[in-house]
Amino acid sequence: MTGIRPPAGHADPLLDPLFTTDAAADAFSPTARLQGMLEFEAALARAEAAVGVIPAHAVPAIEAACKADLYDLDALGAEAALAGNTAIPMVGHLTRAVKATDEEASRYVHWGATSQDAMDSGLMLQLRRFLDGLDADLAALADGLADLAERHRATPMVARTWLQHALPTSFGLKAAGWLDALGRDRRRIAAARGGLALQFGGAAGTLAALGDAGPAVAEALARELDLPLPALPWHAARDRIAEPASALGILAGTLGTLGRDISLMMQMEVAEAFEPSIPGRGGSSTMPHKRNPVSCAVLLSTAIRAPALVGGLLAAQVQEHERGLGGWHAEWQALPDLCRLVAGAARHARDTIAGLTVDAERMRANLDLTRGLILAEAVTMALGDRMGRMAAHSRVAEASRLASSTGRPLRDVLAEDAGVVEALGIGGLDRLFDPLRYTGAASHFIDRVLDTHRQAKGRQS
């Protein structure tokens, strides 16, 4: 033991600060991986002593040696390359460390457990810490989206389908749509967190080495680690890994949609909303005028990278008999990589929404780009009440073609149609060309999403 170890945080100091967070990097650092396994070993000693499987006097020496900073990670890694996993050399080094202070206590290190017990239970501790930190960022993001939805419920903007102008909507409804999806993501992640559980089965999932004391030790160990006790060991049943991975993959897609929308709204031709502007953010090495959507790029890149990681973890569910070969190994780097990526995207989304610049005037101006054509449906529906839908559709379609070919406002063209004026009146026609009068149930939908958000906050408080 030399005490030498790499920093607990970022593995790549050039790129990690862009794509992940300090908390996620720490949660899945090599040191944290080792510490998770050591926490299992210390808790196992306490549990077995409490049940009477090992002598109580062995516990202090084992606990004292269960500190990651006592070990040389490079040496452990080199030995793991030969052993096939990290727990095997960890147990060897831990045993020697305990023996240096209490030879008898060293006999009881890792008593009745297997390497996968230490690794999987340690991972459960890492995942729990990570998911708690992630939800704090998602909660802040949700609050920011709720604020946007409320403040901009009456801010009219263009609804776009197939990237083209469709009908009027409100920016508040767009924000509510983001919030609604995020709420479902948080519920999925909470459900996955509930599936985290102790892994303790011994060599073949029977705890045979502990005899009749096995179930009692498992119960005590679950209490020590504050992890749920499953009905039986789950060495080859990897849904407890696939479920959080899937939830994180779906969250990555939600955040990618947010990034896509905001990046499109940031285009100079659109200019409706912008990421926060601070010195050094979003510039160009050659073009001083640029304001690039940096956070949106991270959200989109995460949405691109996450599915492959999730797919690998889903494929890894297929494992052989009582403990698998290869599938388990495939999880070791893929899951931490996925967690780090999604955490970075969530932090970028949180900060972007907190500082989002919204140009309501430009949103309103963009509604007028088609000179009223965006409200052709509104006129058709109102006119249809008077002359039938097909007749109204034909009349408004002809007026729309004339307005497009001449560059005139649709309202002015329709005002020259005596049949339209007779059916709707000039005042009625004017009201139909107010975009805020044609946002349908947008305000109602916003209220429903905000109510759900407030209820969720109430349950968490």
pLDDT, one tens digit per residue, over 314-362 is 999 999 999 999 999 999 999 999 999 999 999 999 999 999 999 999 9
Q: What is the pLDDT of residue 289?
A: 58
The domain over range 32-365 is classified in CATH as 1.20.200.10: yes
Quickly state the pLDDT bin for 266 (edges 50, 70, 90): very high
pLDDT digits (tens, 9 = 90+) for 162-181: 999 999 999 999 999 999 99
pLDDT at 364 (0 to 100)? 96
- Share the mean pLDDT of the chain: 93
**Per-residue confidence (pLDDT) for residue 78, from 0 to 100:** 97
Q: Catalytic residue at 284?
A: yes
Kindly report, residue by residue over 89-110, the tens digit of the pLDDT.
Answer: 999 999 999 999 999 999 999 9
- pTM for this predicted structure: 0.92
State mean pLDDT over 220-243: 98
| Spatial contact of 346 and 255, defined as CB atoms under 8 Å apart | yes
- Residue 10's pLDDT band, with cuts at 50, 70 and 90, is low
Q: What ranges do the domains of the chain cover?
A: 32-365, 370-437
At residue 1, the pLDDT reads 37
Q: Is the pLDDT reported for residue 288 higher than 70?
A: no
Q: Which residue has the tokens 């908390």?
A: 23
pLDDT digits (tens, 9 = 90+) for 403-441: 999 999 999 999 998 889 988 999 999 999 999 899 999
Instruction: Indicate the pLDDT class of residue 5, thresholds 50, 70 and 90.
Output: very low
For residue 362, what are its two tokens? 């430009």
DSSP per-residue string spanning 148-181 = HHHHTTT-EEEEEETTEEEEEEEHHHHHHHHHHH
DSSP string computed for 296-341:
HHHHHHHHHHHHHHHHHHHHTT---TTS-SSHHHHHHHHHHHHHHH
CB 288 within 8 A of CB 240: no
Active site residue 437: no
Catalytic position from the list 240, 323, 347, 350 = 323
Residue the block writes with tokens 């020259």: 416
pLDDT band for position 4 (50/70/90)?
A: very low
Note whether 71 and 35 are within 8 A (CB).
no
Taking domain 370-437, whether its CATH number is 1.10.40.30 is answered by yes
> Which of the following is catalytic: 187, 277, 281, 284?
284
Confidence label for 278 from pLDDT (cuts 50, 70 and 90): confident
Query: Concatenated DSSP letters for 341-357?
Result: HHHHHHHHHHHHHHT-E
